[in-house]
Every structure is written in C-alpha cells, then in structure tokens.
Amino acid sequence: MGRAAELLDVTPAFLRNLDAANLFVPQRSPGGHRRYSRYQLRLAQRARDLVDQGTPLDAACRIIILEDQLAEAQRINAQLRQHTDQPPT
C-alpha cells in the first residue's frame, strides 16, 4: 500500500478510504498487505483528481462507479449492434 500511495502522491489512509467506500477491493498478499492492480490505481488516481477539484470522496467514488458502469453498458451495446448488423448465415 505504501508504494501505491507514493505512486499516486496520496496517503495510505486515502487508499483505505477508497476500499471502505467500495470503489475497489485490493487483493491481499499472503502477509495481508494490500495489492493494487493497474486498473485499481487508475481508479484511485481518478478519485484523487475529483477530490482535488473539491468533490467529496463518497461522491467521487459514486461518479467513478457510474462512469465505469456506463462504459461497460456502451461496450455491450456496441457488441449487440455489431452482432445484429451481421447478415444471417
């Protein structure tokens, strides 16, 4: 966690708060240390950016979750469109 906090220029408490807000759940090492994926680090950076702009942490997490859900829905929609646009075989 310390290295992740250092990379993002945040405190470890900020990362714990993101975990508590259910933005993501980091993996745990055998010793119990939090391990963050690159995707989770990108989410944490986005949260930091929003908080730096004055957005409360809980609202920032909700915004990020909704953005992620929208992107996934758009991806599925594009797949469905591509599938329905194909001529029958």
pLDDT at 83: 86
- pLDDT of 84: 86
**In this predicted model, what pLDDT tens digit does every residue of 42-82 receive, in sequence order?**
999 999 999 999 999 999 999 999 999 999 999 999 999 99
Portion of the chain with pLDDT greater than 90, in percent = 87
pLDDT value at residue 85: 79
Kindly report the backbone phi and psi dihedral angles of residue 60, in degrees, each rounded to the nearest multiple of 5, phi listed first: -60, -45
Structure tokens at 6: 């250092």
3-state secondary structure of 41: helix
- Cα separation, 62 vs 6, in Å, equals 24
Residue type for position 41: L
Q: At residue 87, does pLDDT exceed 80?
A: no
HSE-CB of 43 using CA atoms within 13 angstroms: 24
Q: What's the rounded mean pLDDT across residues 31-43?
A: 93
